[in-house]
Amino acid sequence: MAALDPKTMKDWQIAEAAEATMKPVKKLAGELGLTEQELLPYGHYVAKLDYMAILERLKNRPDGKYVEVTAITPTPLGEGKSTTTMGLVEGLGRLGKKVSGAIRQPSGGPTFNIKGSAAGGGLAQCIPLTDFSLGLTGDIDAITNAHNLAMVAVTSRLQHEFINSDKFLANRGLKRLDIDPRTPAMGWAMDFCAQALREIVIGLGGDMDGFMMRSGFQITVSSELMAILAVASDLADMRQRIARMVVAYSKKGDPVTAADLQVDGAMTALMVKAINPNLLQTIEGQPVLVHAGPFANIAVGQSSIIADRVGLKLSDYHVTESGFGADIGFEKFWNLKCRFSGLTPHASVIVCTVRALKMHGGGPKVVPGKPLDKAYTAADVGLVEKGLENLLAHIATVKLSGIEPVVCINHFATDSDEEIAVVREAAEKAGARVAVSKHWEKGGEGARELSEVVIEACNQKPKFRFLYEPSTTLTERIRLIATKVYGADGVSYTPAAQERVKKFEADPELSKLGTCMVKTHLSLSHDPSIKGRPKGWTLPIRDVLLYRGAGFVVPVAGDIKLMPGTSSDPAFRNIDVDTATGRVKGLF
């Protein structure tokens, strides 16, 4: 490990060098306590796990300590949440703890665009990097295919109902669903950032070329099927959730489900292998479960409940990551994932950087692909102090749940001792434990302080409580999230959104579904340009979607796209293959 220097090597170069000595997956599984039958290998270094067999064998074993990782509101560059998750897993391993991690599978959209693959960085990474970044064991492909099969069922049924009689349909065992092409419940899916496909027209040509209608694409990780994979408790539960998915509406406004189209069984068949978590490892050889990959700003933002249940049975400490800041990822972990799973977390790590605090304090705009302004590398305690309000807001959110907050100051080489000191003082005064971590530079040894503080936090008995009860109305849930978590003064609705809220609240089944907010991750507010801790604002809800299979009602705040766009300087420009060895280079 001494030969790996993140100051002179790129992340993919570090990963490639570390992969030369990584543990074969059978050895990794053996150290974790898995039997040979519970391991489903995909080559020498990656495997799926037979979660049902594992959970049945270990059903009487007590769970380990449950640790969640979130962050403050990030810059567009990210603040190292995945890196911190890997560093904490490595650090706990260095302290002799039996530990596992759980992270989401990266989407091809960010991997080939700006953000990169989210494997971590420096000496705190998940490997093998290429497998992790480029499709892994095919889970996202399975979701893409199952999603698009539902759209094939919808569009073909539209065409056949348009050109054929009721008798023709009845002879084939079909009833007329009278699908309304003007009010689609979903579009097509692909796992790239393809803004040109957000709005399209399909069915051009004659009667045999399909029904002409407006349609569009969303990125696969925003599919309801991805959310279902994240929250399903087992295969039977996943099958039932897929059947309940609303894939279209009739001309009377009634939902048309995957079961109505008799496509739910085939969709489940495409995803039957995807429900098993994937096993990889950190650079230092600790096990990492990679499973599900929903974004947090447009979806639930969590790795799977199944992965966490498996990790908690196999480990003394299990570290799971939630997407983006505590206002989005943690809030959904708290009020959705924990409610669905029944699991109670012991601590939450809030990743914080001096760089992000300076941005929230009024620093120059941070633009991906452009050099950072010198304000972010020169010492400026005053600028950091002005940005502390954002950190304090996230600490308050975690404390509201009753979970122990641990602020991890993700150390950058340009951070001054004075800047670190002012962050530590403010966080401790707000009631959080604090650790400075140098895991990017030093791996598990650099995360020793963070690991020790997390262990201390986990020794406290959690006083966990949800923000709202299942009986709380949708209107009140949205208000509570907006005011207590985001810091808004109140909520406003478009007429269409207000009408949908009334409809959902009047339905006994829909009124009990979870509330999964859609909001920008770049601000506590709905406006990504507003930094810090915004005051005197109202959260605008422009639409409310229904993910009945996943079990969510989805209020949409502000202008959010389900299909991101590719930038002018995408990461795919740097990715290539060494044709002599077949090794992929340039991933980050």
**Which is the catalytic residue, given 83, 130, 144, 515?**
83
**Which is the catalytic residue, given 48, 94, 104, 309?**
104
pLDDT value at residue 476? 97
Indicate if 440 belongs to the active site. Answer: yes
Indicate if 296 belongs to the active site. Answer: yes
Question: Is 444 within 8 Å of 452 (Cβ atoms)?
Answer: no
Distance CA 531, CA 401 (A): 24
| Closest among 18, 41, 114 to 573, alpha carbons compared | 114
Indicate if 477 belongs to the active site. Answer: no
Q: Is 321 exposed, middle or buried (0-12, 13-18, 19+ CB in 10 A)?
A: buried
Q: Is 508 exposed, middle or buried (0-12, 13-18, 19+ CB in 10 A)?
A: exposed
Indicate if 502 belongs to the active site. Answer: no
DSSP type of residue 398: H
Between helix 264-271 and helix 224-231 the angle, nearest 10°, is 60
pLDDT value at residue 1? 46
- What pTM value is reported for the model? 0.95
DSSP string, 263-315: -HHHHHHHHTTTTSPEEEEETTS-EEEE-----SSSS--B--HHHHHHHHHH-
Interacting residues of 389 by C-beta distance below 8 A, sequence separation 6+: 360, 532, 533
Partners of 178 in beta bridges: none
The mean per-residue pLDDT over the stretch 262-287 comes to 98
Lowest mean pLDDT among 149-158, 481-490, 576-585: 576-585
The mean per-residue pLDDT over the stretch 423-437 comes to 98
pLDDT value at residue 516? 95
Whole-number average pLDDT of the chain = 94
Lowest mean pLDDT among 10-14, 451-455, 568-572: 568-572
Question: Is 126 within 8 Å of 119 (Cβ atoms)?
Answer: yes
Continuous segment of H or E residues that includes residue 502:
helix 495-506
| Closest among 24, 278, 41, 283 to 140, alpha carbons compared | 278
The mean per-residue pLDDT over the stretch 253-274 comes to 97
Between helix 235-244 and helix 224-231 the angle, nearest 10°, is 150
The domain ranges of the chain are 11-136+285-349+434-458, 139-271, 475-557
DSSP3 helix / strand / coil % (the chain, rounded to 5): 40, 20, 40
CATH topology of domain 11-136+285-349+434-458: Rossmann fold (3.40.50)
Q: What is the pLDDT of residues 77-102, one digit of tens each?
A: 888 999 999 999 999 999 999 999 99
Whether 415 has a pLDDT exceeding 70, the answer reads yes
**Which is the catalytic residue, given 48, 81, 241, 355?**
81
**Which is the catalytic residue, given 48, 65, 97, 115?**
115
pLDDT value at residue 261? 97
**Which is the catalytic residue, given 71, 227, 296, 457?**
296
pLDDT value at residue 370? 84
Whether 2 has a pLDDT exceeding 80, the answer reads no
Partners of 124 in beta bridges: 121
The mean per-residue pLDDT over the stretch 312-335 comes to 96
Indicate if 81 belongs to the active site. Answer: yes
Distance CA 329, CA 333 (A): 6
DSSP string, 349-415: EEEE-HHHHHHHTTPPPP-TTSPPPGGGTS--HHHHHHHHHHHHHHHHHHHHTTPEEEEEEE--TT-
Interacting residues of 8 by C-beta distance below 8 A, sequence separation 6+: none
Interacting residues of 436 by C-beta distance below 8 A, sequence separation 6+: 409, 411, 420, 424, 449, 450
What's the one-letter identity of residue 276?
A: N
Indicate if 217 belongs to the active site. Answer: no
Distance CA 424, CA 436 (A): 9
Query: Dihedral of CA 431/433/437/443: which sign?
Result: negative
Q: What is the pLDDT of residues 441-479, one digit of tens each?
A: 999 999 999 999 999 999 998 899 999 999 999 999 999
**Which is the catalytic residue, given 112, 192, 217, 324?**
324
Q: What is the pLDDT of residues 358-406, one digit of tens each?
A: 999 999 999 887 889 999 999 999 999 999 999 999 999 999 999 999 9
| Closest among 312, 557, 332 to 466, alpha carbons compared | 332
**Which is the catalytic residue, given 412, 464, 466, 537?**
412
Indicate if 12 belongs to the active site. Answer: no
Whether omega for the bond prior to residue 564 falls within 30 degrees of 0, making it cis, is no
Whether 588 has a pLDDT exceeding 70, the answer reads yes
Same CATH topology for 139-271 and 475-557: the answer is no
Interacting residues of 182 by C-beta distance below 8 A, sequence separation 6+: 213
What's the CATH number for 139-271? 3.30.1510.10
DSSP type of residue 104: P
Question: Is 521 within 8 Å of 324 (Cβ atoms)?
Answer: yes
Distance CA 426, CA 419 (A): 11
Domain 475-557, CATH 2.60.40.1180 — does that match? no
Lowest mean pLDDT among 47-51, 118-122, 420-424: 118-122
**Which is the catalytic residue, given 188, 334, 340, 440?**
440
